[in-house]
Amino acid sequence: MRLEGKTAIVTGGGSGFGAGIARVFAREGATVMVADINGDPAAAVAAEVGGIAQVVDVASGASVAAMTAAARDAWGRIDILVNNAGITHLPKPMEEVTEEEFDRVLAVNAKSVYLTAREIVPMMKAARTGAILNIASTAGLSPRPRLNWYNASKGWMITATKAMAVELAPAGVRVNALCPVAGETPLLKSFMGEDTPEMRAKFLSTIPLGRFSTPQDMGEAAAFLCSEAASMITGVALEVDGGRCI
């Protein structure tokens, strides 16, 4: 029960890594808001973990404000924020990514971190405590070809994490990031371009431990970084990647 009595918002919580994080958080005693742009999956995970479902578009300031207000109304405070929602463009040469694709990737993967900070950081500062976890990627540390602007968005998230950590430390707020390798999530096919045994084998050949990351892996790492066991850890980008970045 590492998170007993804590309240947590997990964006993109209706599937993939976000759902895994929500499940482990609930197991560890947290009350979770499962926030997702897709209402039905969010409701399903929230029902499973005994939490709250919230429809949110993390690229919209008004939508993020509504999510924050719903959490404030329900709990009176927000102890943990997990910025997990993310998207990618399909693998292609960098110059062939459309402006619309670029804008959407940066809005969901980068602007969302600003928007949630704008709404939630003041509450954490007032409380003199809080934990923010940004779900980045090994793509931000060791980029793969043909995912250029996705790579860049995750690199941005890692730098934002460190900048947030050093600024918010005096207020008692910790900010960390997780850098997973490709995992068994709805985004896997998008990363690979096509989900075939040959493409999976190619991806797995770059991971020394020989498997993809799982939602459970992310949940366990996230629970540690957001718990008091990690009270002296801030500004890290923890690789949960089976050795991919070595």
**How many angstroms separate the CA atoms of 83 and 58, rounded?**
9
Examine the residue annotation and report whether 114 is marked as an active-site residue of this protein: no
Catalytic entry in 25, 150, 191, 212:
150
CB 134 within 8 A of CB 175: yes
- How far CA 22 is from CA of 13, 105, 230, in Å, comes to 7, 23, 18
Please state, as a whole number, how many other Cβ atoms lie within 10 Å of the Cβ of residue 65. 15
Q: What is the rounded CA–CA span in Å between residue 1 and residue 213?
A: 23
CA distance 111 to 133: 15
Distance separating alpha carbons of residues 181 and 217, to the nearest angstrom: 11
Active site residues: 150
